[in-house]
Structure 1
Amino acid sequence: MNDRIRDILAAHGKMAVDPKTVDASADLYEMGLTSHASVNVMLALEDEFDVEFPDEDLKKATFASVDNLAAVVGRLVEAAA
């Protein structure tokens, strides 16, 4: 799942660094992720994993790291199964 999330970040995150090379706990906002780009990442994640982010997960902390994204997406995938 982390690799798929990193692929989406690379395609939609418009970050200054390659998200495939950063530590999974690194702050993605410090790496150049913007709030606008995080919306594009969210939409791509929803398409990729066939989930929908609920309002309570639409916060900066959700998109702050690969680990955070994996935790939220993993929970959403399990709930959808």
Structure 2
Amino acid sequence: MNTVYILYSLVDCGESISDCHTLYSTLEKAKGAMEIEIQECMKNFHYGKVKHDLERLYEFVNEDGQGFTVGIDEQIPL
């Protein structure tokens, strides 16, 4: 059985909410993509604070309740 890693992102910009999921074959590839996704999401927000900054989970929110979540889930196909 090969483990796959799902990189997910959820962005709430007030006017719109978007989500995205991408599969990666290794945790290292998923972590690299996670860093890039966090940088891309930050371009939509000019102020706020980090709620969680963990190895596989990053959450950011502003005072208006808008923000984003980027994380990695591990899946083992049956």
TM-score range, shorter chain: 0.3 to 0.5
TM-score by length of 1: 0.37
The structure with the greater share of residues assigned to strand is: 2
Q: Which has the larger radius of gyration?
A: 2
The structure with the greater share of residues assigned to helix is: 1
